[in-house]
Amino acid sequence: EIFELYGFQPLETPAMEQLDTLTGKYGDEGDQLLFKILNNGDYLKKADQTALQQKNSKGLLSSISSRALRYDLTVPFARFVASNHTQLPIPFKRYQIQPVWRADRPQKGRYREFYQCDVDVIGSDSLIQEAELCQMYDMAFARLGIDVIIRLNHRKVLSSLANLCQLSDQFMSMVTIIDKLDKIGWDAVCEQLVGIGMQHEAIELVRKVIYSQSIDDIKNLLTDADGIDAQKDLQQVLDYLKGYTFTNTLQIDFGLARGLSYYTGCIFEVIVNTQNDHQANIKMGSIGGGGRYDELTAIFGVKGLSGVGVSFGAERIFDVMNELQLFDQTTTSASSLLILTMDETSFNKGIDLATLFRSNKINTDIYPTYGKFQKLMKYANKSGNRHVLIIGSQEVEEEKYTLKEMHTGDQQKLTSKEIIQFFCD
């Protein structure tokens, strides 16, 4: 709903991509984690004979498999835009919520099939996009009930640092080290920066910058072209956000690095706000992140399209919401009212009541056989229904039925009209 509120359209891409579309996009490790689809029919007929004889699994691959399951949503999106860019409205704004597959060893928080939820704009350089992505993060987490900090930085803050420290050739090493600040603390970061050959003075500059809290603070620190670009862009994003009131906290964080090498402009990250007492015990890394990457579609031969987007970590968000008990009982059981009946007459009454309740939009289930109260209650407990309506001969006669709240055990006798009122109020 929030994505569409901001003018984004849904996109779904096929589960399978051409193997050569995916190969080489995620590094060697990524290539190994792709789930490859075996060609159909007599696949060995067209297999590479040399590779076959040498039992070369890697060499044989491209001749017996031409497709693989998608590994993320970014590459399929780039492929889609590159293939269709002449037909698409540019800027093209899309969101995509689909599973991806990785042949990883499954462990806590890591699955072989999991959902990604991405929202991206392609073909617009305007920083209004960055501002609106911040707003969407804010609105979405407000709706989910998690108090978050939205961190914002600019990749050029880091390249400016590397320039000023005369360490441009070690840019990625520096970024990787700074990226660990949250986990290992400043002292360890400092040590590792020394390790890649940084001088004391340079490290002091890094420290000053990453602990600065406003754009003004770095004005006199980052004075090269990259530094000035970064300040200008970040200021523009903040200016665009002036008319918007945040529910969560937007925070400029010059220490935010984000591991991935392809970002070129603003970068984002969302973390749970553990300053909030209610959330103090949540141990979780980032639950969202993204940034601007120029030339998103260049790998598919279409140049000049800048992309900016963010991602929601669906499984992690689920875990946090679970821990904060943000899912209420009704979310986990589709049916809110279960009808149990004691004999044939009450069963027939139950059918009529079920029809009545459903026409009043009350989710209703009726146990398909009557009698054997203990068996019925066993089912009621197992099914997780919040409310049970018990109908016996007495109830049919009185036209009042016993409504039981399963958690508390509270029960009351109500007419069908009162039951409808109970659920619809």
Residues 281-340 that bind a second copy (CB under 8 A): 333-335, 338
Residue 390: phi and psi, rounded to 5, are -105, 125
Comparing CB distances to a second copy, the nearer of 81 and 193 is: 81
SS3 for 308-368 is EEEEECHHHHHHHHHHCCCCCHHHHCCCCEEEEECCHHHHHHHHHHHHHHHHCCCCEEECC
Asked if 6 is part of the footprint of a second copy (rule: CB under 8 A), the reply reads yes
Pairwise CA distance, residues 83 & 289, whole Å? 26
| Residue 106 touches a second copy, criterion: CB under 8 A | no
Q: Is 417 in the site for a second copy (CB under 8 A)?
A: no
Nearer to a second copy (CB atom), residue 61 or residue 267? 61
Distance from CA of residue 157 to its chain's centroid? 26
Asked if residue 284 lies in contact with residue 269, where contact means CB atoms within 8 angstroms, the answer is no
Buried b (16+ CB within 10 A) or exposed e, 380-390: beeeebbbbbb
Of positions 17, 21, 22, 36, contacts a second copy by CB under 8 A: 36
Out of 75, 82, 93, 158, the only residue in the binding site for a second copy (CB under 8 A) is 93
Q: How far apart are CA 358 and CA 301, in angstroms?
A: 55
Alpha helices in 54-127 (DSSP H): 57-64, 74-84
Q: Which of 110, 143, 361, 413 binds a second copy (CB under 8 A)?
A: 361
Measure the CA–CA gap between 257 and 297, rounded to whole angstroms: 23
Stretch that binds a second copy, among 128-136, 142-150, 217-225, 290-298 (CB under 8 A): 128-136
Q: What's phi and psi for 219, nearest 5 deg?
A: -50, -45
Quote the crossing angle between the two packed helices 416-424 and 344-359, to the nearest 10°: 40
CA 277, 279, 282, 284 torsion: positive or negative?
Answer: negative
The radius of gyration of the chain's CA atoms, rounded to the nearest angstrom, is 28
Is residue 377 involved in binding a second copy (CB under 8 A)? no
# residues contacting a second copy (CB under 8 A): 72
Q: Whole-number minimum distance, CB 15 to a second copy, in Å?
A: 6
Segment 178 to 237, residues that bind a second copy, using CB under 8 A: none
Stretch that binds a second copy, among 88-96, 187-195, 393-401, 412-420 (CB under 8 A): 88-96
Q: Are 364 and 358 in contact (CB under 8 A)?
A: yes
Pick from 22, 69, 218, 222 the residue near a second copy by CB under 8 A.
Answer: 69
83 sits near a second copy (criterion: CB under 8 A) = no
Q: Is 109 in the site for a second copy (CB under 8 A)?
A: no
Q: Which stretch in 192-200, 204-212, 285-293, 377-385 sits in contact with a second copy by CB under 8 A?
A: 377-385
Is the CB of 119 or the CB of 210 nearer to a second copy?
119
Q: Does 42 bind a second copy (CB under 8 A)?
A: yes
Check residue 8 for interaction with a second copy (CB under 8 A). Answer: yes
List 91, 255, 291, 309, residue binding a second copy (CB under 8 A): 91
Instruction: Tell me which of 62, 83, 99, 318 binds a second copy, using CB under 8 A.
Output: 99
